[in-house]
Amino acid sequence: MKALFDKDVIGLNIILIGPPGAGKGTQASLIANKYDIPFVSSGDLFRDHRKLGTELGLLAEKYMNSGQLVPDQVTINMVMDWLAKNNGNNSGFLLDGFPRTVDQATALEKALGDKNSVGPSIYINVDQDQLIIRLTGRRVCMDCQLSFHIHSNPPIHEGKCDKCSATLTQREDDNFDAVRARLDAYKHNTEPLVDYYFKKNVLIEINGNKTIDQVSLDIIESLDRLNVN
Ligand code: AMP
């Protein structure tokens, strides 16, 4: 059967959208590994810049800490730079957390051109009360970035990473006020993208309230139904 998305002929350009705390990061690496495509999280790119103390990192920091979106043009330039380095032969990619506004979505389309469109766009939908519990209880390894949860996925030794024993920390934007601001920003700026991609006929909606493994299975099953090569 002919593949709808043949990543060796035309890029499998997966977009992951969903509220903060939906589990996009976890699913991103699983999907990208399965289909052997490069992936990036715009949030991670910003955190890398912040860690390195670059001009971009310093600018982004004040938005990130208060849970607001970094201005579009800054974000678009940063992600386009990543794409230029990682999608040279248009063989596909996965973006986690970008686009987050309609302007970012149109900038991405423009950059890809007519022959290499965006899709599928996977929308992980999770109930709001679940998101607050997930985000405020999240703890992240300072070294390897592995993520834990104080209730649903606690580390074996309190405050220490299971994988590398480094100290676990709470992301600055996982405190209650920042979480509220991030959810507001999502509702206001990013939720319109669900409708945007639905109308383009590339949206796959996934129920993200289930376990990580079940969500992965549901995503893979949906992609398999598209006959991704
Ligand atoms: P995340 O790790 O995806 O939750 O992103 C952390 C923070 O980085 C967000 O709260 C924003 O401040 C910033 N950020 C990440 N991606 C974007 C984006 N596509 N547009 C604007 N800001 C972003």
| The two structure tokens encoding residue 11 | 């890029």
The CA distance from 89 to 84, in Å, is: 10
User: Which ranges of 113-166 does DSSP label H, i.e. alpha helix?
Assistant: 128-136
% of the chain at pLDDT higher than 90: 77
Domains in the chain and their CATH numbers? Answer: 2-38+87-127+190-228 (3.40.50.300)
Q: What is the pLDDT of residue 2?
A: 40
pLDDT at 213: 92
pLDDT for 229 equals: 55
Question: pLDDT under 50 in the chain at which residues?
Answer: 1-3
- Alpha-helical segments (H) within the chain: 24-35, 42-52, 55-65, 72-86, 102-112, 128-136, 176-185, 192-199, 212-225
Q: Tens digit of pLDDT for each residue in 129-140?
A: 999 999 999 999
Question: Could you say which DSSP state residue 158 is in?
Answer: T
Cα of 228 vs centre of ligand 1, distance in Å, is: 28
**Cα 43 to ligand 1 centroid, rounded to whole Å:** 5
Out of 40, 70, 104, give the residue to mutate to test ligand 1, the one with the largest number of ligand atoms within 8 Å of its CB.
Answer: 70
139 is catalytic: no
pTM of the model: 0.89
Separation between Cα atoms, residue 54 and residue 57, nearest integer Å? 5
pLDDT of residue 119: 85
Taking CB atoms and a 6 Å cutoff, what residues make up the pocket around ligand 1? 20, 41-43, 46, 63-64, 67-70, 75, 97-98, 100, 104, 173, 182
Q: Atom 1, ligand 1: which residue's CA is nearest?
A: 43
Return the DSSP state at 119: B
Nearest CA-CA partner of 100 in 123, 83, 116, 82: 123
Ligand 1 centroid to Cα of residue 174, in Å, is 12
Residue tagged active-site, from 24, 47, 50, 139: 24
Rounded to a whole number, what is the distance in angstroms from the first to the last CA of the chain? 10
Residue closest to 41 by CA, chosen among 124, 120, 99, 117: 99
Mutate to test the pocket of ligand 1, among 17, 29, 42 (most ligand atoms within 8 A of CB): 42
Catalytic, 100? Answer: yes
- Give the pLDDT score at 135: 95
The pLDDT score that the predictor gives to residue 1 is 35
Q: How many Å lie between the centroid of ligand 1 and the Cα of residue 227?
A: 31
